[in-house]
Structure 1
């Protein structure tokens, strides 16, 4: 998969009436492409996918896909296997470059059920699939042994591993085939994950810090470890600030503060508090 090392999980811009602002979304996608994103994830958690309608998600993916020259990955996962497959079928004419499928949430399937879910989803499409493991949001962790079994399925190509457990991340890297890509889903672990053999990052922070993150990844690839470590240290405050409260509240606020209007939030998300605003604003000094 030619998704590269820096995949940005795009925010979804809204207008003053909280309608999806498709023109601004295209502008943001082009901006991110220019700022070193190697691929874009559309309709993920950072894109407020739980509050988008099926029609909005379809149009958003379509508009971005036809306006950028980098891969576009579509977020399609739900906690309902049939609905996930329906979501895939509904966008099959858009020629996206991959699918992100989250671990089912709320119903908390066991490991055998997780395997059956992802296997059924994979069998419904020829597109490459990225499993998304984020137990902090879903309430269930997909174990290494389950990932190893899923990696044997032809079009299950990668995992976005956002458990925060580096030991688990390392095992996933070491115990899966070389062509199975293990991405970090934690911005603050971008450099450590590269150092242990990870493919890269599916990032929130690159909505605002793509250039500097690209420089850090370049330095790592050139074995310029001191430079990479220095850039990582500079970015750490920003990484922390962008998760000081529920994502994507801080990153949308950061874009607005930087003069790129992405609007507000659909309930149940609300505007940042003054304290969150202060923390985010101060962290932008690194850029």
Structure 2
């Protein structure tokens, strides 16, 4: 099942701009140790729009190899060009994946017919399960619950990462798509309430820096233990906010750099956060106990 606490994993880079596979190995091992349920490799947080097709496939392959069956791996396979999404899906179909995360085609703003044909083409390229990814702030298009229900009729579309932050959608999506359709929050600040309303987990940016806490919160929320889930979530809210002071994944990579998990290198057009944002992120990490008070 593609449920639980799923991290939208960053992609570490060297100072020269290459993938830092040593740091990637350490991140994968850390998430296994911390109890994360699954990894999304080469999603937006992984800076997939800046990667070549070969790099994209090499990173997903490496994560699968490093995971070695210890943790499920979900591959980002989306693109605004259907042919590219199909190509990526086919190229990764041989890997030991739990499924794909397929973002709504961005920039093009296709019609509903276009969306249906896009997803049908992607799903015909592999029998593996696929999750829709609705993130209007990135794609310029919002998949409404009635449209999700239509797409859910495609056999291997098994769920959605819903990143609008609209918790009210959970009930409608559940009614329209059925009890077996997987509902995952893609909005960390509202993720707890999303699950308490009937969601099945999260695909989280914050899980990059607080994997054990996110796992504990998700477990409590999915079990209906609202008091415990909200208690843990309240402790993470300041970190949720800090992870979005600039466009993702700028803040989370800076945070991981402060924590000594990677060198905070980016691919243009992403750059390091501005000094006030750096200071805010570092202060938030100190207050959350993620780095020492003496950290500079």
Q: TM-score, normalised by structure 2?
A: 0.93
Q: After TM superposition, give the deviation of residue 32 of structure 1 in Å.
A: 1.3
- 2:63 corresponds to 1:73: no
Q: Distance in 1 between matches of 2:53 and 2:126?
A: 19
Q: After TM superposition, give the deviation of residue 161 of structure 1 in Å.
A: 0.6
Q: After TM superposition, give the deviation of residue 223 of structure 1 in Å.
A: 4.4
Q: Distance in 1 between matches of 2:223 and 2:174?
A: 21
- How has the CA–CA distance of structure 1 residues 286 and 131 changed in structure 2, closer, same or farther, with 3 Å as cutoff? same
The match for 2:240 is 239
Q: Distance in 2 between matches of 1:96 and 1:102?
A: 17
Contact 1:111 1:142 in 2 (8 A): no
The match for 1:107 is 108
Q: Distance in 2 between matches of 1:238 and 1:163?
A: 19
Structure 1 gap segments, 5+ residues each: none
Q: Distance in 1 between matches of 2:136 and 2:222?
A: 30
Aligned residue runs from structure 1 range 41-56, under 5 A: 41-56=40-55
The match for 1:141 is 142
The match for 2:216 is 215
Aligned residue runs from structure 1 range 186-265, under 5 A: 186-265=187-266
Contact 2:131 2:161 in 1 (8 A): yes
Structure 2 gap segments, 5+ residues each: 290-296
The match for 2:293 is none
Q: How many residues align?
A: 286
CA deviation string 1:159-217 (max 9, x = no partner): 00112222233311232121110101001111101111101100000000111112222
Residues 219-228 or 255-264, more deviating: 219-228
Contact 2:131 2:157 in 1 (8 A): yes
The match for 1:25 is 24
Q: Distance in 1 between matches of 2:146 and 2:223?
A: 33
Residues 55-64 or 220-229, more deviating: 220-229
Contact 2:3 2:202 in 1 (8 A): no
Q: Give SS of 1:240's match.
A: helix
Residues 165-174 or 25-34, more deviating: 165-174
- 2:288 corresponds to 1:286: yes
The match for 2:94 is 93
Q: TM-score, normalised by structure 1?
A: 0.96
CA deviation string 1:122-173 (max 9, x = no partner): 1221010011110100000112111111112211011001122222333112
Contact 1:183 1:201 in 2 (8 A): yes
Residues 212-221 or 263-272, more deviating: 212-221
Give the aligned CA root-mean-square deviation in angstroms. 1.4
Q: After TM superposition, give the deviation of residue 64 of structure 1 in Å.
A: 1.1
Q: Distance in 2 between matches of 1:242 and 1:61?
A: 24
